[in-house]
Structure 1
Amino acid sequence: MTTPAVHKPKLGISACLLGAEVRFNGGHKESQLCTRALTEYFEFVPACPEVAIGMGIPREPIRLVGDAQHPQALGSVNRELNVTQALADYGVQMATELDDISGYIFMQKSPSCGLERVKVYRENGAPVDGGGRGIYAQAFCARHPNLPVEEDGRLNDPVLRENFITRVFAYAAWHQLLNAGLTRRSLTEFHSRYKYQLMANNPVQYKALGKLLGTMGRSDPNDIATQYFSDLMSALKKCATRRTHTNVLQHLTGYLKQTIDAADKQEIQQLITQYHQGIVPLIVPLTLLKHHFRQHPDPYVALQVYMQPHPENLSLRNAL
């Protein structure tokens, strides 16, 4: 199964996750997932906002203080140290410079880079319930609302990891489509390729996107492209479940009903049932389906992103 080739996507990443000794204490937080498993398939663009704005190594740690929605980044010892605006400005700067990335992996819990549940303290020192978002991450993400972003710790979850990387390749494929020049036909074909991936992630949104394309008519596809892409990335952000994957596997099996015998059909159904029950991972029924589609190719199935949404050697579906 092959889908249109996507160049090696660029990912922004917190520099400490690549092993750079840029943390406040002069250490790093190397992520072996990033430095060993992902580095072959992505071009990383590292950044450390705290170093970039002139804070030294080592340095006084900062923390978020005040309103969780609009906290200040202050020195944990010297409260006169306020780097809020500097971090926000650097976030805006990097959002402009990194206009060709397809995703970003942020350092969790960081007052500059954390995406969620970063500790925020009241003026009296008590923590705010729920926490907030790092200053740099907030400024950066506000300017790239559709960009796939994730924290390093959450990528240890196989479902979240597979979802994030699926979105990264979708983001890269979309921008490749735009760079080639968007046409009504290319937009329709792009949506067609994502049919079963969208059915796995968000069946309701798949139908809504189809209706949106139906409004295009003979008008300029660029008129709906921004809305389509925003809705697409939102739909893909919802993690697929065993139930929705099972539904897609059953749909795909339908393309084989005229070409394989009863015994093969029974074997496929048995594996799909075992997957649905949590006995085997997704890769098991999917591998058998791919085997049959190699024997009995179907041009529509061959174009489906769902069959291989990311490099096979990443083995992301082995743990789903």
Structure 2
Amino acid sequence: MVAIKVGISACLLGEQVRYDGGHKRSAFCTDELGRHVEFVQLCPEVGIGMPVPRPTIRLEKHANGTRAVVPKTGEDVTDRLIAFAERATPHIETISGYVLCAKSPSCGMERVKLYDLETGHARKEASGIFAAQLQQRYPALPLEEDGRLNDPLLRENFVMRVFVYAAWQTLPQPLTKAALLQFHTSLKLLLLAHNQQLYRDLGRWVADQQEMTDDFTRGYIEKVMQALAEPATRANHTNVLQHIQGYFSEQLSAAQKAELTDSILAYRAGHEPLLVPLTLLRHYLREFPNDYLAGQRYLNPYPKDLKLRYGI
């Protein structure tokens, strides 16, 4: 089995490549996610030839847009960072997600300080130069920052998207309508949990499309990843859980139905994690097999030992 590759800012793996010679090792990435993926580590600032340690870079607001500048010397390294993103293309096209270093003027995904030279003030409203290139060049690629991965909901969402995108990347090329339908069918309950409108729109779009053009397939996966990037609410999860429960309406006893209903409602009220009703549903799926449910990524979106649904 081909390992899933995930790009990552090198400092998050403990590499001492930051401007001050330090690192920002992410325990989740190195100790947990790293058991299931192969990391592709990059440091744009080192990649453009800057030393360790090095003068700091900051983002500045200029007439020609956001620029990455070394305030100590006035050197503008924006174009070099963009060129690095271009050179990194062969690596990035093999990955299924990217973990970025928060607040970095090169790698920060959002809320990076942007300095206004006229006022002397800075607002947290920019993206790092390299991160912005990733967003522009690969709109379907799952991106997340190390700090946001401390949030259980965002952590679970990112990992789920990585595994979905990796599955997409393994589809045989050229893509056939049959292969697309099978892939899309496996995502139906996940999409329903995350974005009901796009769930409906994508279903119609796939059904109506006959020719698997590059524009169509690129647009399809971008819309899928857009839908999945929206965190699922308890209400939507409850809707999906009840939808799955309906598949067992003829097999379960009255007591089993009541137990499952109570578990789903307890989750809805915030008294139990999602894992509790899901465990019951998986148990009933083993007891009463159903091919459609067995193929749904919603029930098993990533390795269980990551324990991502324990806290949501």
Q: Same fold (TM over 0.5)?
A: yes
Change (3 A) 1:98 1:280: same
**TM-aligned CA deviation for residue 88 of structure 1:** 1.2
CA distance in 1: counterparts of 2:26 and 2:259, whole angstroms? 40
The equivalent residue for 1:56 is 51
**TM-aligned CA deviation for residue 141 of structure 1:** 2.5
The equivalent residue for 1:23 is 18
Cα deviation digits, residues 50-93 of structure 1 (max 9, x gap): 111111111111111114993111113222x2211111110122
CA distance in 1: counterparts of 2:248 and 2:120, whole angstroms? 61
The equivalent residue for 1:301 is 293
**TM-aligned CA deviation for residue 315 of structure 1:** 0.6
The residue type paired with residue 172 of structure 1 is A
The residue type paired with residue 181 of structure 2 is T
**TM-aligned CA deviation for residue 221 of structure 1:** 6.2
Q: Contact conserved, 1:69 with 1:132, CA < 8 A, in 2?
A: no
The equivalent residue for 2:191 is 198
Q: Contact conserved, 1:253 with 1:289, CA < 8 A, in 2?
A: yes
Q: Contact conserved, 2:40 with 2:91, CA < 8 A, in 1?
A: no
- 91-100 vs 208-217, which moves further: 91-100
- 27-36 vs 87-96, which moves further: 87-96
1:30-179, aligned counterparts within 5 Å? 30-67=25-62, 70-79=65-74, 81-124=75-118, 126-179=120-173
The equivalent residue for 1:245 is 237
CA distance in 2: counterparts of 1:250 and 1:213, whole angstroms? 25
Sequence identity (%): 45
- TM-score norm. by structure 1 comes to 0.93
Change (3 A) 1:68 1:273: farther
Change (3 A) 1:262 1:221: farther
**TM-aligned CA deviation for residue 222 of structure 1:** 5.3
The equivalent residue for 1:3 is none
The equivalent residue for 1:257 is 249
Change (3 A) 1:27 1:202: same
SS in 1 for 2:222: helix
- TM-score norm. by structure 2 comes to 0.96
CA distance in 2: counterparts of 1:207 and 1:68, whole angstroms? 43
CA distance in 1: counterparts of 2:82 and 2:40, whole angstroms? 19
Cα deviation digits, residues 13-58 of structure 1 (max 9, x gap): 0000000000111110101011101110111000111111111111
CA distance in 1: counterparts of 2:63 and 2:26, whole angstroms? 28
Structure number with the bigger relative contact order (C-alpha 8 A, sep ≥ 6) is 1
The structure with more strand, counted as a fraction of residues:
2
1:277-316, aligned counterparts within 5 Å? 277-316=269-308
Cα deviation digits, residues 237-290 of structure 1 (max 9, x gap): 111010000000000000111111000000000000000000000000100111
Change (3 A) 1:194 1:15: same
Q: Contact conserved, 2:175 with 2:212, CA < 8 A, in 1?
A: no
The residue type paired with residue 222 of structure 2 is S
Q: Does residue 183 in structure 1 map to residue 176 in structure 2?
A: yes
Give the root-mean-square deviation of aligned CA atoms.
1.7
CA distance in 2: counterparts of 1:68 and 1:309, whole angstroms? 45
The residue type paired with residue 11 of structure 1 is V
**TM-aligned CA deviation for residue 220 of structure 1:** 4.1
Change (3 A) 1:68 1:20: farther
